[in-house]
Structure 1
């Protein structure tokens, strides 16, 4: 089993390449005054994965380096391995699901790795990688289930304790378990009274399921914006370490993850991927109520496609009624559309989109449907717009797209 000395050795091994990432306050809000963010989204390659990859590559024999390596990844481990092998002229082949993040795939290619896009899940990509290992006598760089990987990730725990010695709780995303295994080992060995909590996306809660069933267990994965932790089965080593060192595991929903991404952009000016937001999501959703305990949320990565970020932010704004969508049926007469727009403007609603449709199936020839997307200040402002517009005499039918009538 891995020891604290292994983590210290990893720290020396990788210190010339990795950044000691900042630990920053999560908010000036009184409720979150003792919550801090460990910003691994600012790390080399945009995520914590470079730590484990560098340590694993450094411990290969000369013969293994000469033959080359193979790995599989949703994208962040891929970049870590590609970056770590590039400087040493080691051939690296990385298998990535074809549905993976475009930015992660392209970055991996730019670091010099041979990228193979595989149909299916991360596990299917793993099968391709293991086949290549056998065929070409390559060394596998596992994304989480290896002691060198765990030791590398554990260096984050050392940094947290250096920067915040009186930390009382650390919250860590869980995918395969390599990250939390290393951090929990370091924290519990050096500060046993500090709590360590793991967070999974509820759509792929493989570690929680495994702990509850008493053995590493494969789960049926559903779509999640937290693709970096969408692992169907945790590692054997990681399962044992989580069982030994982690105090509790919770799950967060897709909406809670989206809310955390929005929070990090607005309050902390941080671009964070779904997996990187789950730790804070647990706090914002009150699923972990830590009173005034000094708490560190690990922001594990920031590699998110721009289009995905845009969709995530829009969905989070819709969820909080800061974007509202509604459909209004009005008489198709001169001035009625102008009245609607003027009334929204009078209420200080910012209209982002207008769709004026006369040809909807079943619509009377003298009527039209106007679909609006409006930016609001908050839920109270949204309620004011809905209540006011729905009572106008030119409105014949009213349909909310993302705001329940019961809220009005």
Structure 2
């Protein structure tokens, strides 16, 4: 998708990859499906377990349902209600935790050990990363002329997968990420040359609240990413409003982070044509009302 109005405001030619219109409302179905389809029939009979603030949970529930496997999802108590309800509606069992006091990965690992279920990480696994990378494959198939690519970054699964895929097609393409300035773990980590952990943040972009880049994703980001661009809460909200008002599509705050960086002219001036991943569109009405 393209928008002359967005281009005029951003002063760069943009090509949007609308994962907000994807099945499950986000790109996460790609990684979850690739992971589930990589499991053996015996593994599937024991079910799958995952931890997520929402989009990965929905994706795992959906992917598991397609093959008849049981899904158990570990979700924070403050996850958007719409994401929790959508996950439950897909037949998953939901276990909640306090993100400020409990470790979701430890909970998920314990459940997997007790039940024999396969743990599906939201980003830090080669199968998940490979699935997310298909986003860039499709974008470059539709818009091979782009000279740069930008995605939101939380744990790094989408950005690392897209980096590998994009560079396999165009070795010269420039790779950027975008994250909230209040949840800047990837930016700090790349600057330090090591994984840096930050305290839990309260950004409106709930899907980008990772406190540290993944062990698997971080070396990939180090290899391919030119720069992480930081966006403010108001810049994210303004971008959500722009899409709703001018393009008539709903993009969630996390999904709008990369577009926010472009819209607010944070890309280097010599970028001519950029592919922008709108990573999701799952936002509850209370959050949307706050933004509008």
Runs of 4+ in 1 over 6 A off after TM superposition: none
Shift in alpha-carbon separation, 1:28–1:274, aligned structure 2, 3 A: closer
What's the C-alpha RMSD, in Å, of the aligned pairs?
A: 1.6
Of structures 1 and 2, the one with the larger relative CO (CA 8 A, separation 6+) is 2
1:267 alignment counterpart: 246
Matched, 1:52 2:27: no
Q: Secondary structure at the match of 1:96?
A: strand
- The CA deviation string for residues 193-236 of structure 1, in whole angstroms up to 9 with x for no partner, is 11110011111111112212222221113210100111011111
- Report Cα offsets for 1:256-279 as digits up to 9, x if no partner: 111111111111111111111111
Show the counterpart of 1:80: 59
Counterparts of residues 231-250 of structure 1 (less than 5 Å): 231-250=210-229
2 CA distance for matches of 1:289 and 1:216? 25
Deviations along 1:15-70, whole A, 9 cap, x unmatched?
Answer: xxxxxxxx333626535461121110000000000000000000011221111111
Q: Summarize the Cα distance change of 1:73–1:237 in structure 2 as closer, same or farther, 3 Å threshold.
A: same
Give the secondary structure class of the aligned counterpart of 1:151: helix
Q: How does 1:22-61 map onto structure 2 within 5 Å? A: 23-25=1-3, 27=5, 30-31=8-9, 32=11, 34-61=13-40
Deviation at 1:122, TM superposition (A): 9.8
For residues 102 and 196 of structure 2, what CA distance do their matches in structure 1 show? 13
- The C-alpha deviation readout for 1:68-125, integer Å capped at 9, x for no partner, is 1110001000000000001211111000001000000000001111111112259722
Contact 1:82–1:108 (Cα < 8 Å) also in 2 = yes
Q: Distance in 2 between matches of 1:123 and 1:231?
A: 14
The answer to whether the 8 A contact 2:179-2:257 is kept is yes
Return 5+ residue gaps in structure 1 as ranges.
1-22, 314-408
Shift of 1:192: 1.5
Aligned position for 1:92:
71
2:263 & 2:6 partners in 1: Cα distance? 14
**CA offsets, 1:291-326, max 9 Å, x none?**
56111111000000011101111xxxxxxxxxxxxx
Q: TM-score scaled by structure 1?
A: 0.69
SS at match of 1:144: coil
Q: Which whole-Å CA distance do the structure 2 matches of 1:45 and 1:26 have between them?
A: 28
User: Partner residue of 2:44?
Assistant: 65
Q: Unaligned stretches of 5+ in structure 2?
A: none
Q: What does 1:182-197 align with in structure 2 at a 5 Å threshold?
A: 182-197=161-176
Check if 1:204 corresponds to 2:187: no
